[in-house]
Amino acid sequence: MSSVRSFEAGDVDAVADLFQRLLRKTAEPANDDLKTYLRTLFIDFPAAEPDLRSRVHVRTDGSVSGFLGVLPVEMEFEGRRLKAANCGTFACDDREEDPFAGARLLRDVLAGPQDLSFTETSNDVSTDMWRSMRATVLGPHSLEWLRMIKPASFALKAAAGRLSALRLFNPLARAADAILCRRGEKQNWSHYIPLAGKADAFVDEAVSDAEFADLCRQFVRHFPLRPAWDTPVLETMLGHATRKALHGERIQHVVKTRTGKAVGLYLYYGNPGDIGRTVQIMAAPGQEAIVIDRLMRDAHARGLVAIRGRTQPTLLQAMIGKKCAFLHTSSTIVHSRDPALLDAMANGRVFLNGLAGEGWTRLIGDRFG
């Protein structure tokens, strides 16, 4: 009979194959780099806990047909230490043959010893499954924000994803942007130009992983329900986030006052001419708008055509008026049997997404091999 059990080193090849076929949607066989990474992330990760493991669904013949990746996260709420299951990579084969495999995996994980479970990358099918388990979709965490910087180049870039020959029109798009972006002195949703404002009183500069980790720990403190990151774990996570070959150069900055006081930070990836991908924005309370402005200025100065990222309630609030577009691509969902935790999560008092999610892993945005 088929079963669900913990993910073990011997399952790595099969899970890597599922990842390639079902999530990366490629016929190329999984390479050693991907296999090693899956082992590093889901088996050897420093925060690993023996009773909170990734799970596999195994057919009657012993072969693996499904995987749900779980990363244990230590969190805290009102002085209590909590265990959380950060559930990400979710892939099941044989939907025709065994349509219950995904359901069994999710049910098994959610029945674990953790105080709460969450995912930030749930597609529509997974979202329905989570909902069936009485989980809660966090709307303000589930939107993708997008700030267009150069409209013609952005449109071309978006279309060239499907038809690469369109890249031949890049010079034309640049010329169109030069004309469009000269118009007016007000911000417009169609393009971005840095205007004089409060953000001028701040500077941003590159920081090491160690300093960035310290600042993350500092800025996360004002969220009542938050990850209780210890420095080695956070630095390990930032080490994973060093490279995202598919998303471009890593920009890891702190935003400071001119006197040197840190008010926020941001981490994004992007090359000139590309759409930047933001993994994390954090700020001291009330300084979110400044940090967002500094991020957009930096993206503009580097020649990105647009910048995007995932919302959090405080960021969403600060983005109003900044001419961002919002769309839904995947959902942040939480599950807990504790009403106080559910209340905190449903009412914007939790820090989730990005570093408290999957965004820092190489599984999102990196190339293997």
Partner 1 sequence: MSDETKAAIRTFIVENFLFGDDSHPLPADLSLIDNDLIDSTGILELVGFLEERFGVQVADADIVPTNLDTIERIAGFIARKQAA
Binding site for partner 1 (CB under 8 A): 1-4, 92, 95, 98-104, 106-108, 111, 125, 128-129, 131-134
Instruction: Compute the least distance from the CB of residue 308 to partner 1, in Å.
Output: 29
Question: Which residue number, 99 or 285, has a Cβ lying nearer to partner 1?
Answer: 99
The SS3 call for residue 255 is: strand
Strand partners, 73: 84
Q: Which amino acid is at 133?
A: M
Instruction: Compute the least distance from the CB of residue 2 to partner 1, in Å.
Output: 7
Instruction: Compute the least distance from the CB of residue 294 to partner 1, in Å.
Output: 42
Strand partners, 136: 334
Q: How many CB atoms lie within 10 A of CB 184?
A: 10
Question: Which residue number, 131 or 323, has a Cβ lying nearer to partner 1?
Answer: 131
Question: Which residue number, 112 or 140, has a Cβ lying nearer to partner 1?
Answer: 112
Instruction: Compute the least distance from the CB of residue 60 to partner 1, in Å.
Output: 10
CA–CA dist 106, 129 (Å, integer): 8
Question: Which residue number, 103 or 176, has a Cβ lying nearer to partner 1?
Answer: 103
Which residue, chain included where needed, has tokens 């997404």?
A: 353
Question: Which residue number, 74 or 94, has a Cβ lying nearer to partner 1?
Answer: 94
Instruction: Compute the least distance from the CB of residue 155 to partner 1, in Å.
Output: 36
CB 228 within 8 A of CB 75: yes
CA–CA dist 59, 63 (Å, integer): 5
Instruction: Quote the tokens at residue 116.
Output: 């709460």
Runs of H (alpha helix) within the chain: 12-18, 32-42, 101-110, 124-132, 151-160, 170-180, 209-219, 231-240, 288-301, 313-319, 339-346
Question: Which residue number, 52 or 299, has a Cβ lying nearer to partner 1?
Answer: 52
Q: Which amino acid is at 282?
A: M
Instruction: Quote the tokens at residue 223.
Output: 């969220």
Element (H, E) at 92: strand 80-92
Instruction: Compute the least distance from the CB of residue 23 to partner 1, in Å.
Output: 16
